[in-house]
Amino acid sequence: MKIIGINVHDIRFPTSLDGIGSDAVHVDCDYSATYVEILTESPELRGIGLSFTIGKGNELCAKCIDYFKPLVLQKTILEIEETIAEIWQKCTNHSQLRWIGPEKGVVHMAVAAVFNALWDLLSKYYKKPLWKYIVDMESSKLVKKLSFRYLEDAITRGEAVSILENKRRDLKNSSRSIIESGFPCYTTATGWLGYSDEKMTELVKQSLQDGWTHFKIKVGQDLQRDIHRVKLVRDLIGPNNKLMVDANQMWSVDESIININKLKKFNLYFVEEPTSPDDILGFKKIKENVGNVNLASGEMCQNRVMFKQFLINRSLDFCQIDSCRLASLNEIIPVMLLASKLNIPIIPHAGGVGLCEYVQHLNIINYLLITDNKTYLSEYAESCCEHIERPAKVVNGRYITPQEPGYSAVIKPSSVESYNFPNGKFWSSKT
Ligand SMILES: [Mg+2]
């Protein structure tokens, strides 16, 4: 069965109107998706993939995908499966596009959208949820589909196969437990920076009633207000629930040290992105000067090579991979394998559009096949789930294991139509 067409949509939801997603630096997010539909000879079988962005620039990501189409069109699904590593290498190392990368930014996120769609297509072809398709694959076959380029000094393919094989020994028990109990997550949806005290209070109380035990709030605009907000939430959730803060890169290294030392009395489980997401040495310096406060980062870590340095240098304590910033499973699984080798927990970034749907699969793959670390946690924020056909389900602060075929981030056709930018019904009515 052949791939006969690729459609790309620039979809934008007007979330800035409600302050959803607002943090110290992203004050007016319109949660958006560069949305790819891969059409096959069978009208029922389509690969759907996306990259999450926050408004302007989504069209650049969409445009970039046009350049990758010839590498995929007219190939059979089995050819794609067999040569997915080579196609990935051709896209990430496109002889001209690489000049405006390489392997970072718009080009890399465009690759993510295409490969998220291809992995969705493959798992649908075999009628399995993505996590199951990966778990059922022979370890050596899986490793051949991944990119270890520039990682070989830190982890070899042989080591990767050993990690996978070791985990397989307990697969029966671990599969049963994840399906029965779900995967633990924390909520970010109660503490956007644009929310008033009243709105945060109401949302935190509701979330406690819904069974949440881990809460993250945004900080980074004004220290006195940050202290006030952190105290407010800590008082609401009590001493035993976990509280994290996210500064979204707002502070310098020295400001991070001062501010974290002022906030740490509220017993923070971690501080996320205090400073530039590229500052491997800065993160280490912060860690050395804030006592036992854990740092988390990764949603803007541009590729596996950056992660290699963050992980080996112990510049972060929690590794927050992003399912669209890294160029899909080809690169994400190697990062998870390296984190496993170094015993560093993975706590994926989620929220936005489709990220919760993606990470629910990545968490299970990591849990069943990759990590022995006992910290199991993932982000959740239910933004935009009304536009997703089968949104990730969370009950009592746990992701329920998805069982439908595919990688789950499928936007409803009516939402694709209305929120297409700039000609969909919603946006054309605004101009
Ligand atoms: Mg964050």
Residue 154: predicted pLDDT: 98
Ligand 1 centroid vs 104 CA: distance in angstroms? Answer: 18
**Collapsing DSSP states into helix, strand and coil, what is residue 344?**
coil
For residue 228, what are its two tokens?
Answer: 């006030």
Tens-place pLDDT, residues 315-369 = 999 999 999 999 999 999 999 999 999 999 999 999 999 999 999 999 999 999 9
Per-residue pLDDT tens over the stretch 146-202:
999 999 999 999 999 999 999 999 999 999 999 999 999 999 999 888 899 999 999
Q: How far is the CA of 363 from the centre of ligand 1 (A)?
A: 17
Q: Given a cut of 90, is residue 35 above it in pLDDT?
A: yes
Could you read off the pLDDT of 413-428 as tens digits, one per residue?
Answer: 999 999 999 999 999 9
Specify whether the backbone of 92 is left (phi greater than 0), alpha (psi in -120 to 50) or beta: alpha
Over residues 380-397, the mean pLDDT reads 94
Reduced to 3 states (helix: H, G, I; strand: E, B; else coil), residue 404 is: coil
Contact residues for 292 (Cβ-Cβ < 8 A; gap 6+): none
Give pLDDT, residue 302: 97
From CA 291, how far away is CA 265, in angstroms rounded? 11
Q: Judge whether 46 lies within some domain.
A: no
Specify the pTM: 0.97
pLDDT at 25 over 90: no
What does the pLDDT look like over 193-215, one tens digit per residue? 889 999 999 999 999 999 999 99
Burial class (CB in 10 A: 0-12, 13-18, 19+), 70: exposed
> Across all residues in the chain, what is the average pLDDT?
96
Q: CA-CA distances (angstroms) from residue 94 to 9, 88, 258, 387? A: 22, 10, 44, 33
The three-state secondary structure class of 118 is helix
Tell me which residue of 259, 258, 265, 237 sits closest to 246, measured CA to CA: 259
Peptide bond into 102 cis (omega under 30): yes
With the C-alpha atoms ordered 138, 144, 149, 154, is the resulting torsion angle positive or negative? Answer: positive
The pLDDT score that the predictor gives to residue 22 is: 78
Q: Is residue 177 part of a domain?
A: yes
In a domain, 233, yes or no: yes
Taking the centre of ligand 1 as the mean of its atom positions, its distance from the CA of residue 82, in whole angstroms, is: 35
Decide if 218 is catalytic. Answer: yes
Let me know if residue 367 belongs to a domain. yes
Which is catalytic among the residues 132, 167, 216, 349?
349
Amino acid, single-letter form, for residue 256:
S
CA of 269 to the centre of ligand 1 (A): 14
349 is catalytic: yes
How many angstroms separate the alpha carbon of residue 236 from the centre of ligand 1? 22
Q: Give the length of the chain.
A: 431
Is pLDDT of 431 > 80? no
Return the CATH number at 350: 3.20.20.120
Rounded CA gap, 316 and 294, in Å?
7
Q: Does 35 map to a domain?
A: no
Residue 27 binned pLDDT confidence (cut-offs 50, 70, 90) = confident
Q: Is residue 349 one of the residues assigned to a domain?
A: yes
Residue 430 has pLDDT above 90, yes or no: no
CA of 380 to the centre of ligand 1 (A): 11
**Contacts by 29-32, CB closer than 8 A, 24 or more apart:** 29/54, 29/55, 30/54, 30/55, 31/352, 31/353, 31/383, 31/384, 32/58, 32/353, 32/421
Q: Per-residue pLDDT for 21 more than 80?
A: no
Q: Give the chain's domain count.
A: 1
Strand, helix or coil for residue 374: coil
**Predicted local distance difference test score (pLDDT) of residue 30:** 95
**pLDDT confidence of residue 18:** 81
DSSP-derived secondary structure for 171-222: HHHHHHHHHHH-EEEEE-TT--TT--HHHHHHHHHHHHHTT--EEEEE--S-
Provide the 10 A C-beta neighbour count for residue 18: 12
Instruction: Judge whether residue 110 has pLDDT over 90.
Output: yes
Whether 322 is in a domain gets the answer yes
* pLDDT for residue 231: 98
Mean pLDDT of 4-17: 96
Say if CB 317 and CB 343 are below 8 A apart.
no
In a domain, 361, yes or no: yes
The yes-or-no verdict on residue 107 having pLDDT over 90 is yes
Which residue is catalytic, options 218, 287, 361, 387?
218
Domain encompassing residue 348: 171-414
Are the C-beta atoms of residues 120 and 130 closer than 8 Å to each other?
Answer: yes
Query: What pLDDT score was predicted for residue 221?
Result: 85
Distance (angstroms) between ligand 1 centre and the Cα of 220 equals 12
